[in-house]
Structure 1
């Protein structure tokens, strides 16, 4: 049986771009309102729902589990624009479900 949860959060990035894999001390922890059943395969999808900063925010996820996930904004490089990783507060919508 499938289970779906969703939510939104305000997220900014006051730190420079994180480029070291697995280094998550600048990530924010999001806990699901209701934990998924033990052993569930959980998928999390996120969408930036606002346009408050001029550079494009990239969203990184880590440690997705049955109880929640970690998330961070990282400005992305593109179009000749060099991003510093810091980004204004944006609203991020998320949906989590089991497969």
Structure 2
């Protein structure tokens, strides 16, 4: 499960660079990680409440409806932007990774 969740993390840096100002990058990244962690902690509890109240079939219906609503909201609220490289780092004397010593 965590493998799937962590595979999403590199993809979130593209919208972070596109929609966040350089001075707010840390705050934006923190809010994204907070949302992910809240989803992991509250999601199973809410899913359990839905299952006990309405049954297993309703869990999939509610998930599908919220995914459609979320994607519609995403398209309506965010206008597409191109990502700009704002943090450019260069190394003056790069070393090969093969020059490392064995521990």
TM range (shorter): under 0.3
Q: Which has the higher helix share?
A: 2
Larger Rg: 2
Select the structure with the greater relative contact order (CA < 8 A; seq sep ≥ 6).
Answer: 1
Q: Which has the higher strand share?
A: 1
Return the TM-score normalized by structure 1: 0.26
